[in-house]
Amino acid sequence: MIEQGRVTLNKRRPVIGDKVGRRDKVYVDGHLVSENTEEDIYLVFNKPIGNVTTTDTTGERDNIIDYINYPKRIFPIGRLDKASEGLIFMTNDGDIVNKILRAHNNHEKEYEVSVDKPVTADFIQKMGNGVPIMGTMTRKCKVEQTSPYSFSIVLTQGLNRQIRRMCEHFGYEVQKLKRTRIMNIKLDVPPGQFRDFTETELSALNALLAESSKTQKTSSKGSSAKPKPATKSKPPRPKQPSNKKAKPGSNHRSKPKPGSKSQKPKSRKTSGRKRR
């Protein structure tokens, strides 16, 4: 039926091998034969300390799934350390998960952090300018002191235990870490509680995700095209001249290599120039 043109997928003609998601609409001879029977779920959850952001309900006793005990299948977007608390999204929409977790989209995540000793202006400045951890330099970020022992920080990347590692680099130990915002959505429920996204939040979130994906497509093409020619063109250049020099010297005469070969070509060239 696909080859005969009788099937359409989201108002276009599909090809063999196309995958159909639960939101896709499939028509045969103009009649809808698929329907989305599963309702989209988007939750704002305030993860408490000691809760683990994993879907492993058999191997992890303190997992987030059993804690929420939601009547339908959901999973977390991203993660928070067991010792950390705060905002995390829960959903059954795999598409939005992939868009939010793409590091290149630079989605903002804001945290409140308390440390074990007084925060200084020098510490705030160095934290914001990038910190060498895990073999890389963290992106520049916005850091503001909120009290003598605490600060707020806005990240656009999600390295493993990033804030804790950044603080450790300067001799600070994190006492409390709480995520208060992801993109346009702020934490506004008590620890251990959750709520649904509002329509306004969801529409604004989708707009931000659509815009960031578009900008990434244009930037990735330009960045990926430049390094490829450079790596291909550099290696062949030194090999060609070295092969040409080796051939005339190694074909006929092996013993007088250092003496006769270097002298005869020179005399022929010089004599040829004098005659001309």
Return the residue matching tokens 């290696």: 235
pLDDT-derived band at 47, boundaries 50, 70, 90: very high
How many angstroms separate the CA atoms of 76 and 92, rounded? 9
Q: Where are the domains of the chain?
A: 1-37, 39-104+191-212, 108-182
Residue 251 scores a pLDDT above 80: no
How many angstroms separate the CA atoms of 185 and 189, rounded? 12
81 in active site = yes
How many angstroms separate the CA atoms of 189 and 195, rounded? 8
| CATH topology match: 39-104+191-212 vs 108-182 | yes
Token pair listed for 19:
């995958």
pLDDT-derived band at 270, boundaries 50, 70, 90: very low
How many angstroms separate the CA atoms of 183 and 202, rounded? 11
Residue 222 scores a pLDDT above 50: no
How many angstroms separate the CA atoms of 94 and 159, rounded? 21
Residue-wise pLDDT tens digits, 53-105: 999 999 999 999 999 999 999 999 989 999 999 999 999 988 788 888 875 66
Cα of 114 vs its chain's centroid, Å: 27
Selecting from 3.30.70.1560, 3.30.300.30, 3.40.50.1980, 3.10.129.10, what CATH number does the domain 108-182 have? 3.30.70.1560
How many angstroms separate the CA atoms of 111 and 195, rounded? 20
Report whether CATH 3.30.70.580 matches the domain 39-104+191-212: yes
pLDDT above 70 coverage of the chain, percent = 74
Token pair listed for 197:
């996204």
pLDDT-derived band at 190, boundaries 50, 70, 90: very high
Q: Which one of 62, 81, 95, 188 is the catalytic residue?
A: 81
Report pTM.
0.68
